[in-house]
Amino acid sequence: MAVVDCGEGPDAVAARLTGRPVSAARARSGGLAEVTLAGGRAVVVKRGDGPGAVRAEVAGLRWLAAAGAVPVPEVLGHDERWLVTELVPTGRPSAGAATRFGRALAALHAAGAPAFGAAPPDGPRDAWIGRAPMRNEPGTDWPRWYAEHRVLPYLRAAVDRGTLRPGEAAVVERVCERLPELAGPPEQPARLHGDLWSGNVLWGADDAVRLIDPAAHGGHRESDLAMLRLFGCPYLDRIVAGYQEAAALSDGWAERIGLHQLFPLLVHAALFGRSYAEQALTTSRNFADM
């Protein structure tokens, strides 16, 4: 049942969803709030970006946690509009934590998914990646699924918003046509975080890495690694080394990074403007006539 927002603040939300009195609250960046419950436990309160966003995030967090590989913050309460999770004290990135995270990420991916595009159990098909809608439509053939349900919808959105000119779309469409020959060896559907940029990698004060804000779905494991590289991540080489120790990547994976980056680049082009469209076009030109 949807909860009507009657002007509740994060402190009232935390009290209602956890059943605990609140002793303090303060705003954080990104529309989050940090709330201290009676007894001293600190929690994070987050409001969903759109219909079904909280449900999708909760299902994603629980699906990732069920793999027993990379920890995620515990969900302490939620409704259709709000999410309350534990607050994880943060520390500094370290080489050792990065290597361990790489191994754990490989184990998370190996936990698998029923299909490419499969939503987490109890998660909606109409989900979100950041502030953009994302449809989780299952498929069995990764190149076809990736083109149809990840690249082309955001290409059309970027064109519709005027971020990308109609004549420029052809180069991206050409890459989609060539995906079967560019995609590398077939892979089984992996259990993806789905929005694995560095801001969603939480380096804990306990020297462990946790994942937050997933857009979880079944996908290609190289996609999570490509997202990490797109926006930069501390000790990325150590993360990849740890991953390779646990589960070797297929030959040519490094040359395919750009293919997997097309999806997030076009999402960002649709949301944030021309500079991301230009990056998507540059990336596409590298693959269109290989």
What pLDDT, in 10s, does the model give residues 94-105?
Answer: 999 999 999 999
CA neighbor of 223 nearest in space, from 183, 257, 182, 175: 257
pLDDT at res. 229: 97
Domain 95-288 CATH assignment equals 3.10.450.710: no
What pLDDT, in 10s, does the model give residues 145-177?
Answer: 999 999 999 999 999 999 999 999 999 999 999
Contact by Cβ (8 Å): 143, 183: yes
Residue 4 pLDDT level (bands cut at 50, 70, 90): very low
32 forms beta bridges with 46
For every residue of the chain, which 3-state class applies, written as one string?
CCCCCCCCCHHHHHHHHHCCCEEEEEECHHHEEEEEECCCCEEEEEECCCCCHHHHHHHHHHHHHHCCCCCCCCEEEECCCEEEEECCCECCCCHHHHHHHHHHHHHHHHCCCCCECCCCCCCCCEEEECCEEEECCCECCHHHHHHHHHHHHHHHHHHHCCCCCHHHHHHHHHHHHHHHHHCCCCCCCEEECCCCCHHHEEEECCCCEEECCCCCEEECHHHHHHHHHHCCCCCHHHHHHHHHHHCCCCCCCHHHHHHHHHHHHHHHHHHHCHHHHHHHHHHHHHHHCC
pTM of the predicted structure, to 2 decimals: 0.94
Q: Where are the domains of the chain?
A: 10-86, 95-288
What pLDDT, in 10s, does the model give residues 14-54?
Answer: 999 999 999 999 988 777 999 999 999 999 999 998 899 99
How many Å separate Cα 280 from the centre of its chain? Answer: 19
Helix axes 95-110, 221-230, angle to 10 degrees: 150
Class of domain 10-86: alpha beta
| Percentage, residues of the chain above pLDDT 90 | 93
CATH topology match: 10-86 vs 95-288: no
